[in-house]
Amino acid sequence: MQEMQGKIFSDFEVPSTSDGSYVGRQRVTEETEKHFKMKFEQELEQINQRLKSSKAKVRLFCIGGGIQLRATLPLKPGDTHKQGRNRKQYFISLGIPANFDGLKTGEEEAYELGKLIARQTFTWNDKYLGIRASKNKGITFREFYDIFEKKYFETRKRTNKSEGTFYKYKTKFKKYFLNDEVISENSLRKIIIKIDRPAMRQEFIKLASIISNILEIEITFKDLALKVIKKKRDIPSDEKIIDTFNKFCEFTENSASFNKMTFDCCRRIKLIYALLVIYGLRPREIINQPDLDWLISSENKHSTFKVHESNKTGYREVFPFVPEWVELFDVKNIENIELLKKYSSNITDYKNLESKVSNIGHCFIRYSFDFKPYDLRHACAIRAHLQGIPIKAAADNLGHSVEMHTKVYQQWFGFENRIKAFSEAFQESNQVEKLKYEIIQLRQENAQLKLENTQLILAAKSNTNN
């Protein structure tokens, strides 16, 4: 499988995108499928060339999601030829799927059929007539679990990102789908309808669609989707963000009962908190290969943070949304940097990475923060809007599309932020009106001075003439 992966995707670069939304992910999927199709067609052509060179009178064709053999054969039992001949061209379906394993099987079957034709020993048996000795009983969820990874990566390039996505699917499959029932539309639907949370059900629909696509079962689950009800989400204000940080610092520094491991963990959380606040990073971007040496480098004049290319939307260099907070939150504290560097470098596999990323959220709960890690990212999106930063620049800084950026700050733009936005707008408007009034006054004063100056000049001339 690894060899096949290299053959298919060795020259494929996964498209980089700053769009982490469905549209952005769909673009990556479409490009991957396009590349897979191109490689598949190239391999199919090469196989047919090999068949031709070996004088085998059989060719392979991809028809309706399967691979079929085409050859001129004796007439089928009960069949006739329009011109009365005893041979005819047929397409033979042997139930071979249209994938790279299927191409290998198809080539083997083509050579076998070619030998029968050359020796004139071909007969229409059950195999070539498409008659199965026993009805196919299908595959169970437990059987599918064993081949899930192999099948999934037949059409996808293995990257940190794709392996991470698969890990989530496989974990969910093992927990909710694994049983001895045969996979069918009915059995998949039974699992999905047990889930009553809209977002989680959508995840199950996605996984069920992947399973059915792999097994070439034509099903749609759109009718099972539940309407997502937007939950209230309180995005913390700048004051609350700073106050929470200061209280946490006091808590950690005044707790004599902490052992070294707990104390180091708290210092690491302080730095992670600061990075989330200042750069609006995704939690994973802090743990997955962060360039912490660059963060404290003397060459880093603007205190930017470099996100590694293996993250959700690829590489980007992030400018601090509030530059003065870099010092306020003690971001470049060397001891804290070293603790995070050790923590993020000691990652053995994706499961370990996932665990450490999830631990950030657990720490927010453990230390009674009133918000979630992602709320700090949303706060940056809102703050950028209030700061007047151009939408494109803010979106690029956060690593998502303009559409996603607009959606985020519109969705979580709370009442307090609206008051602030209106107040600033009114203040700016009042300032403009005030300046306009001052300009009018200055113009009037200027006109008055010009008049007085003219009068003085005329008076001086009159005195000279006298």
Write the DSSP assignment of 140-190 as a string of letters.
Answer: BHHHHHHHHHHHHTTSS---HHHHHHHHHHHHHIIIII-SSSBP-HHHHHH
Contact 407, 24 (CB under 8 A): no
**Which position has the token pair 């050790």?**
342
Would you mind telling me the total number of residues written for the chain in this entry? 466
> Distance of alpha carbon 126 from its chain centroid, rounded?
47
For the chain, report the end-to-end CA distance as a whole number of angstroms: 114
Residue 305, burial from CB neighbour count under 10 angstroms (0-12, 13-18, 19+): buried
Residue 227, burial from CB neighbour count under 10 angstroms (0-12, 13-18, 19+): exposed
Render the burial of 5-23: b for 16+ CB within 10 Å, e for the rest: eeebbeeeebeebbbbbee
Residue 159's Cβ-side half-sphere holds a number of Cα atoms within 13 Å equal to 20
Give Cβ neighbours of residue 33 (< 8 Å, ≥ 6 apart).
Answer: 155
The secondary element (H helix, E strand) that includes residue 61 is strand 59-63
The secondary element (H helix, E strand) that includes residue 92 is strand 87-97
Rounded Cα gap, residues 354 and 194, in angstroms: 26
Q: Just list the catalytic residues.
A: 282, 312, 377, 400, 409
Rounded Cα gap, residues 62 and 102, in angstroms: 10
